Amino acid sequence: MKPLKVLVFSATFGNGHLRAAEAVIEGILIKHPAAKIIHLDFGDFLNQPINTMIKNIYSEIIKYIPKLWGKFYYKTAKVQPRSKSQHFLSQLGRSNFLQYIHVFKPDFIVCTYPTVSSILAQLRLDQLLHVPVITIITDYTVHSHWVHQGVDGYVVACSEVKASLESWGINAQRIHVSGIPVSPKFDEEIDRGHIITKLGLKSDVPIFLLMGGSYGVLKSAKRICKKLADSPVPVQTIIVCGKNKKLYLSLEEVIAQGRNPMIRFEFVDNVEELMSVSDLIITKAGGLTVSEALTKHLPLVIYKPIPGQEQENAHFVQHIGAGCLASNEEELEKLLNRFLKHPEEIEKMRRKAAIALPGHSTERAVENILELVLHLRMEQKIG
């Protein structure tokens, strides 16, 4: 039997699409170690200067005028899949995609970014592409940009997303609820005590984890850290600063003068360990960050989510009872004080998270994808 050949498309507009793609690749290789998998960035198929410009504009809007992004998101959220704008997007780079696919000859294609999904789906409808296209929706909501009748199968986060796709006319049999794929390492059991000791923290004092998004950490992060460092109720804080070198350096004084322990990091590759030892995470609401936290049964306080998909993800977390939303610094401070004084509320949210997301989302996603591809092959043989 020849090795499985898979083509995976993601995009580096934010980090979630990329991480979901990497998780699926991990999952496929667990089941098919000999599989040949190529992972491509959608942007590589566009004009490079234009691609760079689009990424820079998106980054600046998200950081400095997020409300503008929210207006654009909600204004386009109900655009019909057959609209002129959607048709335009589905024509981008068609010949480049087809040429690459015809050379590689994959058994199926996985997409974690909506634009490339639409392009390939339209090629399927036009009968120019004869390879199944599977789309993984990386949020807890559905924007119209994800919707296309040419997609052979959808992998989605929850039943609400499935119902939304069905309302757009997508056949229920093509939609599989597995949870958003996260790296299988988030499902592994971790020795919490060992990690706490390694970090130099205490096991009997609450640990709060502070993380931002891929386009910079949370605004007001230094003030939030100072409040936690000076809290009269004992608490330990871990903060991941990411690309924000200025914040990382500015925390030196906060750490030195604070009454409570605080650890700062720039980039980390052990988020699953930090989440495993934490009692609460204060973060943005990217689909993958939310999914990773829920997989670890870690309650969330979502701070100032970006209008659009982040806001919808935050509403999902609230709906299932696994976290809270803070729209401003005052609300955040009240929530943190409440949870420090009433740790039983954190435990209640942890139980809700465990019920909502039982884990092993990537394993289920890969099983669903392979079953779907096998079913499509059988249909083609019968046809």
What was the pLDDT predicted at 12?
Answer: 81
pLDDT confidence bin for 45, thresholds 50/70/90 = confident
Q: Is the pLDDT of residue 325 over 90?
A: yes
Q: Output 191 or 60, whichever has higher pLDDT.
A: 191
Tens digits of residue pLDDT in 220-240: 899 999 999 999 999 999 999
The Cα 88–Cα 85 span in angstroms is 5
Instruction: Give the largest CA-CA distance in the chain.
Output: 73
Share of the chain above pLDDT 90, in %: 72
Tokens of 261: 């322990």
pLDDT for 51 equals 64
- Interval 349-360: pLDDT, tens: 999 999 888 789
Q: What is the pLDDT of residue 85?
A: 59
Estimate to the nearest angstrom the gap between the alpha carbon of 288 and the chain centroid: 2
Query: Which of 179-183, 210-214, 311-315, 349-353 is predicted least confidently?
Result: 210-214
Average of per-residue pLDDT across 323-339: 95
List the one residue out of 272, 364, 349 whose CA is nearest residue 318.
Answer: 349
Average pLDDT over residues 170-199: 95
In this prediction, residue 136 carries a pLDDT of: 98
pLDDT tens sequence across 338-377: 999 999 999 999 999 998 887 899 999 999 999 988 888 7
- 10 Å CB burial of residue 314 (0-12, 13-18, 19+) is buried
51 CB contacts (<8 Å, ≥6 apart)?
43, 44
| Number of neighbouring beta carbons within 10 Å of residue 42 | 24
Residues 6 or more apart whose CB falls under 8 angstroms from that of 383 comprise none
Confidence of residue 127 (pLDDT cuts 50, 70, 90): very high
Give the model's pLDDT for residue 375.
83
**Using 50, 70 and 90 to split pLDDT, how confident is the model at 212?**
confident
Structure tokens at 47: 């004009």
| DSSP, res 216 | B
Evaluate if pTM is beyond 0.85.
yes
Helix, strand, coil percent values for the chain (each to nearest 5): 55, 15, 35
Look at residue 90 and tell me whether its pLDDT is greater than 60: no
pLDDT of res. 217: 47
pLDDT of the residue at 357: 82
pLDDT at residue 293 greater than cutoff 60: yes
Percent of the chain residues topping a pLDDT of 70 = 90
pLDDT, position 72: 76
The secondary structure element, H or E, covering residue 156 is strand 153-156
Q: Which pairs with CB-CB distance under 8 Å and at least 24 residues apart come from 310-318?
A: 310/284, 310/285, 310/286, 311/70, 311/285, 312/139, 312/140, 312/141, 313/139, 313/140, 313/141, 313/285, 313/286, 313/287, 314/285, 316/140, 316/141, 316/157, 316/158, 316/160, 316/290, 317/285, 317/290
Q: Comparing C-alpha atoms, which of 204, 198, 183, 210 is closest to residue 296?
A: 183
**What does pLDDT average to over the chain?**
90
Tokens standing for residue 351 = 């139980």
Phi–psi pair at 301, nearest 5 degrees = -115, 110
